[in-house]
Amino acid sequence: MTSMHQAQLTVPVSAEDHQVGPEDAPVTLVEYGDFQCPHCGAAHPMLRQVRQAMGDELRFVYRHFPLTEIHEFAGAAAEASESADAQGSFWPYHDRLFTHQDALSPADLVAHAEALGLDGDRVKRDLESGAWTEQVREDFIGGVRSDVNGTPTFFINGRRYDGPYELEPLLDALRTAARG
């Protein structure tokens, strides 16, 4: 009965996802992102504002969608963030990568870990061994199955958000979803 196709999130949010906010929040915002994508970098401060404005009404989930054909370091950055997660610091590392998008070479990724007090040698070993390659690939494949074809792509309560990537329209959509 709907006249236009709206993509649905095909992989449900689970405990395996990187998430902040209450699990029982009325709204879940999922971002498929790429640490080297300039559009994701531009959206990052806006998403921080959204999270602050929505408070406990929002659960925010980040999934990897590295566009490795156009962003040389996106795959390694995603894998390094998983190594940081294994050390208990996904979100600080995530934030640091988005604020230092001009420095994502493998050496930079190790230096970012060390700047946060993490084990840089472990990040280096994980990158060299491909320890997190499959995990990042699973996020990417889930994105493809959900009709993600660029970054950032957002889903609000399982439905792709196709509105503008600006604070007020996104907040309006989130608040509408929160009201049910």
User: Residue 110's domain is classified under what CATH number?
Assistant: 3.40.30.10
Would 15 be classed as within a structural domain?
no
* Domain membership flag for residue 139: yes
Residue 9 lies inside a defined structural domain of this protein? no
Chain segment 22-40, per-residue pLDDT in tens? 999 999 999 999 999 999 9
Which residue has 């604020």 as its token pair? Answer: 99
CB 10 within 8 A of CB 142: yes
Residue 21: inside a domain: no
Tokens of 170: 């996104």
Q: Which tokens belong to 75?
A: 């795959």
Number of H helices, E strands in the chain: 7, 5
User: Is the residue at 66 inside a domain?
Assistant: yes
Structural domain that includes position 146? 26-178
For residue 1, pLDDT over 70 is answered with no
3 pLDDT higher than 80: no
Question: Is the model's pTM score more than 0.75?
Answer: yes
Q: Give residue 5's pLDDT band: very low, low, confident or very high (50, 70, 90).
A: low
For residues 64-82, give the mean pLDDT: 97
Residue 1 domain flag: no
Rg of the chain taking only CA atoms, in angstroms: 16
Q: How many domains does the chain have?
A: 1
For residue 180, name the pLDDT band (cuts at 50, 70, 90).
confident
